Amino acid sequence: MRKLLAVAGVLLVALAGCRGTSPDDAKSGAASNETVKIMVGGIDKVIYLPAKLTEQLGGFKAEGLNVQLLTEPSGATAENVLISGDVQGVVGFYDHTIDLQTKGKCITSVVQLADVPGEVEMVAASKAATIKGPADFKGRKMGVTSPGSSTDFLTQYLATKGGLTKADYTTVKAGAGATFIAELDNGGIDAGMTTDPTAAQLVSTGKGKVLLDMRTEQGTKAALGGLYPASSLYMDCAWVQAHPAQVQKLANAFVKTLRWIKGHSADEVAAKMPADYNGGNPQLYAKAVHDTIGMFNADGRMKPEGAQNVLQVLGQFSPNVQGKKGQIDLAKTYTTAYVEKVAP
């Protein structure tokens, strides 16, 4: 009898285990204990701060999610990791969803973190007197994160505002952080596009000056002529469709973080971030957060006119999108379905 009871117990455990991983559960996203890997295109960049802040605030755990945040310095590299299936999501620029659609990939932004790029066009202090606007890019070495990156497309767009083409200046891969600072300091680039805290470090040391500020809606409209939705959580469409419950929990976590940001000061936000993010200078890091924090929205929604503006820019400067602008289905590049369901 004891043997029969033992066998019955084993069978019940086995059946329970099978029930917990059934295709129906997986499809609905019920298996939420599964690790969700998210690649961040530079986890210490303030423009992507909501990702790490959500983890710091315990937002993922509160939703019952096991999220692993990874980092790559370039958004272009981050998207490749998503396509290969090594991660389930990317916190990066929304424009990648449009670019990838031209390659037959369906990628969609499920949470739009910002309506502006959060980028800053910095000029070397020694060149500030002669580089005062996009028209002065001519003959200069212009730094971007990497060729084909969002900063590359935006630099090209700015150049056209100054009556120039890409052939009028030299594009230099300057990376971010210490690499970008070194390039600007040693003359590898005359000017370049970067984000905080790099911009704050350059200004504080006197090595660089702000030429164009796209950390605010006003500055973005002045530089680009309209909004340019950037930082977002984007994911493979097929994964989103197969895991709606998990995507909803991710949306819940990120939107709650965006609301938290709006209700707290830059100093309070900076204090929640890992100590090593401030590079040994908490005051400077807090200033970097202060200068950038206004870029984040409070609801995670995409503004349709912003998405249209991104398509307009890529249609002119992205080799993949040029000539295919009319074929892009913007409705597939983002969704507001999940952020709209986040409880007040």
Domain covering 119-214 in this structure, CATH number = 3.40.190.10
Q: Domain residues of the chain, as ranges?
A: 26-116+229-341, 119-214
pLDDT range class, residue 75, cuts 50, 70, 90: low
Arithmetic mean of pLDDT, 329-338: 98
Domains 26-116+229-341 and 119-214 share a fold: yes
Specify which residues 232 forms β-bridges with: 92, 112
Q: Rounded mean pLDDT of 124-135?
A: 97
**Please, what sign has the CA dihedral across residues 164, 165, 167, 172?**
positive
203 pLDDT above the threshold of 50: yes
Least confident of 21-25, 116-120, 138-142, 169-173: 21-25
Residue 14 has a CB neighbour count (10 Å cut-off) of: 10
Provide the mean pLDDT of the chain. 90
Q: Supply the pLDDT for residue 69.
A: 98
pLDDT band at residue 12 using 50, 70 and 90 as cut-offs: very low
239: its two tokens: 């994964």
Percent of residues, the chain, with pLDDT higher than 70: 90
Least confident range from 3-7, 40-44, 237-241, 286-290: namely: 3-7
Q: Identify the bridge partners of residue 191 per DSSP, sorted by sequence position.
A: 123, 142
Q: Tell me what pLDDT residue 74 has.
A: 67
**Least confident segment among 37-41, 72-76, 124-128, 278-282:** 72-76
Q: pLDDT tens digits, residue range 95-125? A: 999 999 999 999 999 999 999 999 999 999 9
pLDDT at 25 over 70: no
Residue 55: its pLDDT value, please?
A: 98
Looking at residues 163-187, what average pLDDT do you find?
96
Identify the CATH homologous superfamily for domain 26-116+229-341: Periplasmic binding protein-like II (3.40.190.10)
Q: Is the predicted pLDDT of residue 151 greater than 80, yes or no?
A: yes
Residue 2 has pLDDT above 70, yes or no: no
pLDDT bucket at 157, cuts 50 / 70 / 90: very high
pTM reported for the whole predicted model: 0.87
The total number of residues written for the chain in this structure: 344
* Structure confidence at residue 77 as a pLDDT band (50, 70, 90): confident
Q: How confident is the model at residue 29 (pLDDT cuts 50, 70, 90)?
A: very low
Whole-number pLDDT of residue 72: 84
Helices (H), 178-303: 178-185, 198-205, 217-224, 237-242, 244-262, 266-272, 282-292
Looking at residue 17, its pLDDT comes to 38
Look at 6-15, 58-67, 213-222, 230-239 and tell me which has the smallest mean pLDDT.
Answer: 6-15
State residue 18's pLDDT score: 37
Average pLDDT over residues 289-317: 95
Contacts made by residues 324-332, CB under 8 angstroms, sequence distance 24+: 324/102, 327/102, 328/98, 328/101, 328/102, 329/101, 330/98, 330/304, 332/101, 332/106, 332/108, 332/237
Instruction: Let me know: does 327 contact 285? Beta carbons within 8 Å.
Output: no
20 or 242, higher pLDDT:
242
What pLDDT is recorded for position 80? Answer: 86
Tokens of 248: 């909803």
Mean pLDDT of 143-151: 91
* Mean of pLDDT values over 75-89: 87
**pLDDT category of residue 26 using cuts at 50, 70 and 90:** very low
